[in-house]
């Protein structure tokens, strides 16, 4: 059984000082879920070296260094001793294991999406039948029909629910999903969109190889989990509790950078590599991108905003902070999400948002929210290099 979370949004509703903008989409509820196996980062190296039967001391030492620099403390994972006992070929170099990996990943991804969605719907407080659209995001499954159909059926959604699948977007998939959900909600009056994201590292698990040093980065950084949000415009007074308005969305790719994050599927699973210049490329382009979003609300000072940034890794957060001159606390919740869960690809932006929401609820409960920022940016970066951003408003 996956671990789930869905905080009660009533405190935000009860203490809300801002009126939702008519016709603008907002996040109405949020839930998350994880596989039952949690791995403390301190235990990862020994377990990974044992499971992959690696006898190269230099590989172990490099992984130990990477585990420290990622700042991750805990992660959740579908992979387990039981799975490796059943599929020992997953830890054997060069084995054609895509079939076995999908046998594990496909149901696991939908199961986590199901648990996160149930937590989200419970918080929302309305019936599953009231969901009109489903946006399903994953880079961790491959099949026809997709997980969106299985999830809709298992949740008991209407059979005429409008479904959208977003596959293999990587780390920016969660914010892309929000942009798509926003467009649906604002162009279909009365609609309610369930957006789910679900990811597992099963497809990319492999033994270390000196010819693939980037595999160790994945082993030290990425985790598994799922998230879900309900998005809708014109919330029903007394029945729905909006907490973040989605004001304006922009997607942009950087020409000539498509090989900086490079991935592909083979008989061995998913292979990927990250260019060392990824933080630099983001840093060189992030200021102009943020200003484009901020201009919609006549904002100019980066430190006047709150920041919900996908924590791709500490180097990216550090570059963002230094380039934009952000005060250290501005990326506090991104750093905490990375520490608590690792980089969980498309899901992680929602873990950041939930941490921020919890903090806002605490301040409002204590009536300490006089200086709470109204406007913020939700940002994520991924293959392309693609920037995905939304100007958001705290309600």
Residues labelled catalytic: 171
Rounded to 5°, the CA angle 34-60-109 comes to: 20
Whole-Å CA distances, 357 to 77, 147, 333, 352:
25, 29, 10, 9
Could you give the count of Cα atoms lying within 13 Å of 32 in the half-sphere of its Cβ? 22
CB 141 within 8 A of CB 62: no
Which residues, in sequence order, are CB contacts of 318 under 8 Å at separation 6+?
Answer: 279
Which residues, in sequence order, are CB contacts of 371 under 8 Å at separation 6+?
Answer: none
Whole-Å CA distances, 33 to 84, 121, 169, 171, 336:
23, 13, 20, 17, 17
Structure tokens at 241: 């509790």
Cα–Cα distance for residue pair 275/27, rounded to 1 Å: 34
Cα–Cα distance for residue pair 84/133, rounded to 1 Å: 37
CB 146 within 8 A of CB 167: yes
Closest of 163, 139, 147 to residue 346, by C-alpha: 139
Structure tokens at 68: 């420290």
Which residues, in sequence order, are CB contacts of 85 under 8 Å at separation 6+?
Answer: none
Length of the chain: 395
Longest CA span, the chain: 62
Cα–Cα distance for residue pair 237/14, rounded to 1 Å: 11
CB 97 within 8 A of CB 90: yes
If you write DSSP's letter for every residue of 245-275 in order, what string do you get?
EEEEEEEEE-TT-TTTEEEEEETTEEEEEE-
Closest of 238, 275, 237, 241 to residue 256, by C-alpha: 275
């Amino acid at each position: 059984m996956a671990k789930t979370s869905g905080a009660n949004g009533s405190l935000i509703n009860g203490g809300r000082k801002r009126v939702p903008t008519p016709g603008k989409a907002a996040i109405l509820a949020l839930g998350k879920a994880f596989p039952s196996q949690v791995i403390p980062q301190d235990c990862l190296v020994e377990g990974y070296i044992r499971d992959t039967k690696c006898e190269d001391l230099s590989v172990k030492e490099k992984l130990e260094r990477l585990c420290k620099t990622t700042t991750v403390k805990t992660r959740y994972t579908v992979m387990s001793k039981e799975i490796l006992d059943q599929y020992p070929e997953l830890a054997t170099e060069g084995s054609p294991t895509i079939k076995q990996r999908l046998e594990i990943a496909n149901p696991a991804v939908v199961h986590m999406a199901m648990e996160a969605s149930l937590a989200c719907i419970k918080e929302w407080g309305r019936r599953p039948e009231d969901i009109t659209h489903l946006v399903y995001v994953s880079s961790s499954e491959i099949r026809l029909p997709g997980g969106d159909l299985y999830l809709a059926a298992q949740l008991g959604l209407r059979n005429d629910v409008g479904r959208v699948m977003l596959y293999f977007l990587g780390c920016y998939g969660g914010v892309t999903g929000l942009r798509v959900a926003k467009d649906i909600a604002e162009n279909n009056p009365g609609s309610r969109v369930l957006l789910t994201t679900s990811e597992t590292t099963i497809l990319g698990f492999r033994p270390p190889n000196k010819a693939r040093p980037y595999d160790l980065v994945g082993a030290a950084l990425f985790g598994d989990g799922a998230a879900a949000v309900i998005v809708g415009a014109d919330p029903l007074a007394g029945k729905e509790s909006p907490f973040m308005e989605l004001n304006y969305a922009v997607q942009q790719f950087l020409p000539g950078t498509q090989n900086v994050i490079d991935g592909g599927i083979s008989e061995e699973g998913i292979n990927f590599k990250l260019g060392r210049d990824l933080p630099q490329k983001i840093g060189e382009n992030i200021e102009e991108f943020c200003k484009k979003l901020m201009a919609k609300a006549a904002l100019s000072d980066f430190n006047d905003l709150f920041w919900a940034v996908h924590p791709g890794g500490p180097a990216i957060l550090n570059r963002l902070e230094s380039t934009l001159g952000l005060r250290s606390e501005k990326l506090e919740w991104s750093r905490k999400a990375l520490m608590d869960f690792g980089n969980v690809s498309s899901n992680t932006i929602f873990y950041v948002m939930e941490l921020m929401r919890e903090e806002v609820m605490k301040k409002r409960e204590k009536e300490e929210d006089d200086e709470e920022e109204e406007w913020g940016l939700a940002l994520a970066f991924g293959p392309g290099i693609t920037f995905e951003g939304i100007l958001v408003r705290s309600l």
